[in-house]
Amino acid sequence: MKGNLRVLVTGGRFPGATGLVRALHAAGATVDAADAYKLAPALHSEAVEQRHVVAATASDPLQFARDVAAVVRDRRIDLVVPSFEEGFYLANYAALVPAPIFAPDFATIERLHNKAKFHEVCGELDVPTPKTIVAVDREELRKAVAVFDTYLARPAFSRGGTNLLTNFGARAGEHSPDDFTPTATNPWIVQEFVEGTDACSLSIARNGRIVVHCTYEPAIAAAGGWSVKLSSIDDFGGLALAEKVCAALGFHGFIGFDFRRTPDERFVMIECNPRTSAGIFLMPPEWVGEAVIEKPDTPRTVAAGRRVQYDFDLINRNIIRLPARELVRTLLTTPDAFLKPRDVMPALCFFISNYHWAQVAKREHIDADHAFIGDISWDGTPMPKVEEAQRPAS
């Protein structure tokens, strides 16, 4: 490992950031962490030497980039490692940040994060996807949902279960096409429902080559769609397809894929998340640290059977309701992602922040997921140009 490397991890409220700071610290780096929220869990890890409160990413993207640049200069940072979609903004403003960013260029990010464009990428690379129709206005959305017996529709720029339109499952009929307005710049995709089970992967790639890979499944999922408990599983074809995408685009950084595992063990690609995910907690920290700091000689794949969970989400009955016996068994048999014997503050901050964001959601009449993660997410809204922000007011 490179000695005395100084690393800044951004997006400290995102759970994966805590896994990142611990892994990089264990690899011998001096680690700082940043977020707009001062109680973001990663900022309070024992692995962090100095914490930084910066501008809110989506609300003031240019100031966020400038704040990160100031930290880089003041702390002599050698490498910036984003943990979530705040990294998309940093990639867009990379010229402002005087240090390498462990992420691809913004054009690559936008091509993968935009679900409509990612579907095109999969078509070019012969990666299997559900039958898909792209709708750019409400009338096209109405026509598209009528094509399939069962369908799932959502914006090209979206996460999890937000703004979901479907005619099957627990959320069938929750919305109609008249509730949404697709546009040419933020279209909707309508996909035929694929029978099977959900699975995910997280990879660390360097210049188009995957060096660490983990395939996992949500052993317990919240109503919002995110995993509360996850388990690594044997790969059944996902790695080969992830390698195909990364090689074609020369991808560099963290990249995740969501897919369906069909009853006949086929892999059907659903979407791409060019950032970290909860899967980082299933990767051995030493693998993560080495993959980010220096290119490993041999690619590594996480074996099946590793498990991790968010204890505070499990006991929060506003998130998930488990029978008492199952809850106790789960709490006693699966390690918590945040709680470590010599690093307990991230777990406490996660608990406090859950309450904080729930109160914000209630006060602002938005869902808790959007309150928590909305300001470090990118929904396709064009980012201000540097020259426009510097232009004097008329």
Count of beta carbons in the 10 Å neighbourhood of residue 343 = 18
pLDDT 10s digits, 47-91: 999 999 999 999 999 999 999 999 999 999 999 999 999 999 999
Q: Is 120 a domain residue?
A: no
**Cα angle vertex 282, ends 310, 104, to 5°?**
105
Same domain, 185 and 264: no
Same domain, 239 and 287: yes
Which of 74, 65, 73 lies closest to 99, judged by CA? Answer: 73
pLDDT 10s digits, 327-366: 999 999 999 999 999 999 999 999 999 889 989 989 998 8
For residue 245, the enclosing domain spans: 197-341
In the structure encoding, which two tokens stand for residue 11, read together?
């997006």
> Residue 361: which residues within 8 A CB-CB, separation 6 or more?
367, 368, 370, 371, 372
User: Element (H or E) spanning 267, and its range?
Assistant: strand 267-273
Domains in the chain, number: 3
Burial of 262 (0-12, 13-18, 19+ CB in 10 A): middle
Summary mean pLDDT of the chain:
92
pLDDT 10s digits, 221-271: 876 667 899 999 998 888 999 999 999 999 999 999 999 988 887 889 999
Of 322, 341, 360, the position where a domain reaches its end is: 341
What whole-number distance in Å separates Cα of residue 283 and Cα of residue 287? Answer: 7
Same domain, 364 and 294: no
Of 150, 174, 192, the position where a domain reaches its end is: 192
Same domain, 91 and 157: no
Q: Is 121 a domain residue?
A: no
Mean pLDDT, rounded, for 4-12? 96
Q: Is 112 a domain residue?
A: no
Same domain, 158 and 184: yes
What whole-number distance in Å separates Cα of residue 266 and Cα of residue 168? Answer: 22
Same domain, 292 and 318: yes
Whether the model pTM is above 0.85: yes
The backbone region for 37, taken as left when phi is positive above 0, alpha when psi lies in -120 to 50, beta otherwise, is: beta
Mean pLDDT, rounded, for 2-7? 81
Q: Is 232 a domain residue?
A: yes
Same domain, 332 and 203: yes
**Under 8 Å between Cβ of 179 and 267:** no
Which of 112, 67, 50 lies closest to 85, judged by CA? Answer: 112
How many residues does the structure list for the chain?
394
Instruction: State what percent of residues in the chain have pLDDT above 90.
Output: 77
Q: Is 123 a domain residue?
A: no
Q: Is the pLDDT of residue 160 over 70?
A: no
Q: What is the pLDDT of residue 67?
A: 98
Q: What is the pLDDT of residue 370?
A: 84
Same domain, 140 and 61: no
**Residue with tokens 């009338």, as numbered in its chain:** 139
